[in-house]
Structure 1
Amino acid sequence: MNICMFTNTYLPHVGGVARSVSSFAEDLQKRGLNVMIVAPTFPTDEAHVEDHNVLRVPAVQNFNGSDFSVRIPIPLFIDKKIDEFRPHVIHSHHPFLLGDAAFRAASRRDLPLVFTHHTLYEQYTHYVFPESKVMKRLAIEIATVYANLCTRVIAPSESIARLIRERGVKKPIEIIPTGVDVDFFRSGDGISFRNSQGIPEDAFVIGHLGRLAPEKNLQYLAEAVIKAFEELPENTVFLVVGSGPSEKSITDMFKDAGLEERLVMAGKRKGRELADAYRAMDLFVFSSKSETQGLVLVEAMAAEVPVIALDASGTRDILEDGENGRLLPENADTEQFARAIVD
């Protein structure tokens, strides 16, 4: 079987959707299926050695600081390459931009179209317009209408499947979480990562990994960690792995609190460095309310790092409070989150 995937974000980007698409493609290929991926180009300074099965479409990268790339019209040679590949199924990972191209590709060839609902798109409308309830409703409507144009829909968690059904998705929904290679994350070298960041081996490391963006609720998280520092030993540090538009606000908050020396901003990492970073942590903290699965939580747990998170879609499918981590109420204030860290 030949499967052609369309995605607005892909390697070398290290976000959850890019890693999910890569993981699914790799696993399908191991099972003997052929996969072609249509994805945006990336700047030359982020060159990525990739398989022959990735078709790059010219695009404006990280539009307005977002996780998405905005494509320009698809060149004719891409359409020709798809014909040469002779797909049996078109798999779209977004309901717009290259998702629109996926819909047209499936329609013109009378092929089944599968859509994975990776994202709560209403949480990302601030990248296009200032906070607007109208735009949030429109984002929900676009994703719902698109899903109902597809043959089948994939949800990464039960809570997302339930949510999109409530929003009006009528097509069959399959729940397929993104898998994690437990051995890979368990084998990370935390000591070498600590050494590379100047973190003492005896330090207590509170960690976070992911895209640093407003929809991840990071100012809340930074405030909670700063409050926890009031009761934690001086050898406690906050290790933040990732990059994005919220990076400066996190740094400024720790500077204003006089704690900049206890903040380690490690930047964007990929591959083996991700496993090393997780293993460098003693505790993983997560406050996003915009997840559909919370892949980083699964990765942290695979690396045998205890986790604390807020109850939200996706996250509640992974954590059971007091059983495999701490799952705090969605409306918990930063004092409550800080207390969970200290305890």
Structure 2
Amino acid sequence: MNIGIFTDTYSPQISGVATSIATLEEELRRRGHNVYIFTTTDPNADRASEEGRVFRLPSIPFVFFPERRIAIAGMSKFIRLVGELNLDIIHTHTEFSLGLLGKKIAKKYSIPIIHTYHTMYVDYLHYIAKGKILKPNMVKRMTRSFCESYQALIAPTQKVRHHLEDCGLNKLIYTIPTGTDLHSFERADDETLDAIRSELGISKEDPVILSLGRVAYEKNIDAILEAFPKVLQEIPNAKLVIVGDGPIKAELEEKSVELGLADSVIFTGAVEWTKVGNYYQLGHLFVSASTSETQGLTYIEAMASGLPVVAKRDESIEDFLIDEKTGFLFDSDEELAPRLLFVLKNPGRAKQIAQNGRSEVLCYSAENFGKTVEAAYMEVIATYQSTERKPIDLKPTLLRSKMASQVFSLTSNPHIRKGRSSRRD
């Protein structure tokens, strides 16, 4: 297949969306497909390595999320280019500039189109006039308006699927969790880990609590900082390592000083994707107090790394994080400190839960992710061709038939759900 992926967020930007797209792109190419990325310009992009596969539109930072970008020109050129590439399907990953362009191109050239809904915007309203302009119901109407013209949607979790249903969307929705390269999170060599510890000022004997991801309000990192003094009362040499960057990093650094945690809390800033696996290996446990996740990638990565996970209970993680079986859950922020202390003080129990967790996430491999999205593409193409009464290419039909019996099934795997949604009361 010739596949066009349209996204405002792409490498070298660091985000869950960028990681998801990079994983999907690599797997689809490995499976023999031609994948073309249509995205925004980035001053740090390596254009030489992207030639022929990545096409960038002139862009500027997005006003509400300055670390993200939106296209401002060059759309006519892209429209002509796509006409020459003979795309079989378009897959959009944004509701903004490149998403709108992808929809326009799909309509112009009669190309089937599918969309992955990555972001629960109701959790981000505080970035826009502190939530005083846009309200949740307005966002739901905007989501429905944007998504209703697609042949199908992909939701990374059941939580996102239910949100789309609540928005009033009644169409085919595939629930396909983002996969990850599990091999990237195997044990790093001691020399590499010792070098990172030395750089961060951590000794091998210090218990390390790891937080990794975008440093933003919706991640509720405040709750972790506020719980940490209680941990230090009983384990004085514990360290909290916060890996990542974001709009409130400076604010949280200041708060850690105010709480008297400056010697025990370490902010690393952004870390290159290729090195992230090493930072997981520093931890004795991984913690998240967020309830705004749509993919749960960091949880899966931590579990693949063999870390026990302490997480706030949320629908986005309920398929793979089960309390006292594959992880440790808490409901209120007040429960966080006791949970952290329990894990650190019971290493045998923590190790068993971590082993269970690693086994649980083996099905979230990049390979399975690629297979499942490929199968969704083929189904959408076949349905579109049938509906539009277009001649069906024999090769994709045979491939689709072969996949039905040989690859990761869309319906039999408990983590992959498919179906036409109807609004829930």
- Alignment TM-score, normalising by the size of structure 1: 0.93
1:106-125 matches, cutoff 5 A: 106-125=106-125
1:281-300 matches, cutoff 5 A: 281-300=283-302
Shift of 1:86: 1.5
Alignment partners' CA distance in 2, 1:250 and 1:181: 31
Q: CA contact under 8 A between 2:75 and 2:101: conserved in structure 1? A: no
Q: 2:317 aligns with which of 309, 315, 318?
A: 315
Per-residue deviation, residues 194-227 of structure 1 (Å, max 9, x unmatched): 2332211111100111111112112122212233
Matched, 1:7 2:10: no
Alignment partners' CA distance in 1, 2:48 and 2:232: 42
- Give the gaps of 5 or more residues in structure 1: none
Paired AA for residue 268 in structure 1: A
The match for 1:208 is 211
Which range moved further: 118-127 or 287-296?
Answer: 118-127
Shift of 1:66: 5.1
The match for 1:342 is 341
Give the SS at the match of 2:83.
helix
Give the SS at the match of 2:129.
coil
Give the SS at the match of 1:301.
helix
Alignment partners' CA distance in 1, 2:267 and 2:282: 13
The match for 2:197 is 194
The match for 2:19 is 19
Q: CA contact under 8 A between 1:156 and 1:176: conserved in structure 2? A: yes
Going from structure 1 to structure 2, the CA distance change for 1:62 and 1:241 (only over 3 Å counts) comes to farther
Alignment partners' CA distance in 2, 1:91 and 1:323: 36
Which range moved further: 134-143 or 176-185?
Answer: 134-143
Alignment partners' CA distance in 2, 1:243 and 1:24: 24
1:80-91 matches, cutoff 5 A: 80-91=80-91
Q: CA contact under 8 A between 1:316 and 1:327: conserved in structure 2? A: no
Shift of 1:13: 1.1
Going from structure 1 to structure 2, the CA distance change for 1:150 and 1:59 (only over 3 Å counts) comes to same
1:63-212 matches, cutoff 5 A: 63-65=63-65, 68-132=68-132, 134-189=134-189, 190-212=193-215
1:209-288 matches, cutoff 5 A: 209-232=212-235, 234-288=236-290
Shift of 1:126: 2.6
Give the SS at the match of 2:290.
coil
- The structure with higher relative contact order (CA 8 Å, sep 6+) is 2
Paired AA for residue 218 in structure 1: I
Paired AA for residue 302 in structure 1: A
Alignment partners' CA distance in 1, 2:305 and 2:25: 23
Per-residue deviation, residues 90-149 of structure 1 (Å, max 9, x unmatched): 111122221111111111111111010111012123323221374332222222222211
Alignment partners' CA distance in 2, 1:50 and 1:14: 18
Give the SS at the match of 2:131.
coil
Paired AA for residue 241 in structure 1: V
Give the CA RMSD over aligned residues: 1.8
Shift of 1:318: 2.7
Alignment partners' CA distance in 2, 1:100 and 1:87: 17
Give the SS at the match of 1:114.
strand
Per-residue deviation, residues 62-105 of structure 1 (Å, max 9, x unmatched): 53345532221334332232222221111111222211111111
Going from structure 1 to structure 2, the CA distance change for 1:324 and 1:185 (only over 3 Å counts) comes to same
The match for 1:58 is 58
Going from structure 1 to structure 2, the CA distance change for 1:324 and 1:277 (only over 3 Å counts) comes to same
Q: CA contact under 8 A between 1:293 and 1:313: conserved in structure 2? A: no
Per-residue deviation, residues 146-180 of structure 1 (Å, max 9, x unmatched): 22110010011123223322331211011111111
Q: CA contact under 8 A between 2:8 and 2:68: conserved in structure 1? A: yes
Aligned residues: 338
Paired AA for residue 79 in structure 1: I
